[in-house]
């Protein structure tokens, strides 16, 4: 989804990478994610954007999978790491049933202090339908470009 958005808008891609990978084992990933959420643990990230570079961006499309009806904790870390005030933040996410994003998009608004989060315009796609959704994603992304 992020790649299609960048193709459509000319935006730069940045991947939010936790220092410790969540791994391929679903149960282990789910347990860790639940524990982090319950305890509001912000996992360390291995990739960062220079604050001076971040300051030059006005619009950020932020993408994530819904995890435990909320925003994955590495995205909490990301949103709190930078001064996002004055920026426009446009969320997009995949899910496996929580089609309205549950609490994830609210969480973006809460954590992106001072930013204008376009919560009502967030793009929601079921994970299994992402692969066939290039046109939908690009049409959606184009709607924000003046
Ligand atoms: C730890 C974990 C928690 C999840 N919690 C939710 C959830 O609360 N609601 C939901 O719709 N999907 C949930 N999912 C499913 C993911 O949103 C889904 O895997 C993701 O959107 C990618 O889709 P795919 O697995 O079909 O590729 C969860 C997945 C994981 C790994």
pLDDT digits (tens, 9 = 90+) for 77-127: 999 999 999 999 999 999 999 999 999 999 999 999 999 999 999 999 999
Q: Which pLDDT value is given to residue 23?
A: 95
pLDDT digits (tens, 9 = 90+) for 15-61: 999 999 999 999 999 999 999 999 999 999 999 999 999 999 999 99
CATH code of residue 131: 3.40.50.360
- Whole domain around residue 57: which residue ranges? 2-142
Q: Of ligand 1's atoms, which has the minimum distance to the CA of residue 30? A: 1
Tell the residue nearest (CA) to atom 26 of ligand 1.
Answer: 127
Overall domain count for the chain:
1
Nearest 5°: CA angle at 39, between 118 and 109? 10
pLDDT band at 146 (very low <50, low <70, confident <90, very high): confident
Q: Sign (positive/negative) of CA torsion 106, 111, 112, 115?
A: positive
pLDDT of 65 strictly over 80: yes
Specify the DSSP class assigned to residue 77: H
Kindly tell me the burial class for residue 120, based on how many C-beta atoms sit within 10 Å of its own C-beta (0-12, 13-18, 19 or more): exposed
How many angstroms is it from 50 CA to the middle of ligand 1? 30
Mutate to test the pocket of ligand 1, among 65, 73, 101 (most ligand atoms within 8 A of CB): 65
Q: Which pLDDT value is given to residue 41?
A: 98
Q: What is the mean pLDDT of the chain?
A: 97
Beta-strand runs (E) in 46-140? 59-65, 88-95, 116-117, 123-126
Q: Of ligand 1's atoms, which has the minimum distance to the CA of residue 70? A: 8
Hey, how many other C-beta atoms are within 10 angstroms of the C-beta on 101? Answer: 24
């Amino acid at each position: 989804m992020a790649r299609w958005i960048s193709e459509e808008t000319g935006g730069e891609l940045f991947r939010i990478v936790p220092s410790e990978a969540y791994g391929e084992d679903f149960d282990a990933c789910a347990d860790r994610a639940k524990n982090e959420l319950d305890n509001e643990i912000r996992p360390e990230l291995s990739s960062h954007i220079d604050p001076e570079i971040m300051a030059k961006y006005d619009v950020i499309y932020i993408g994530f999978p819904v995890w435990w009806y909320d925003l994955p904790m590495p995205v909490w870390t990301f949103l709190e790491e930078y001064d996002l005030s004055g920026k426009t933040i446009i969320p997009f996410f995949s899910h496996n049933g929580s089609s309205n994003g549950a609490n994830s998009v609210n969480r973006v608004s809460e954590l992106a202090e001072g930013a204008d989060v376009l919560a009502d315009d967030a793009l929601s796609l079921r994970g299994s339908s992402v692969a066939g959704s290039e046109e939908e994603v690009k049409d959606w992304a184009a709607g924000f470009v003046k």
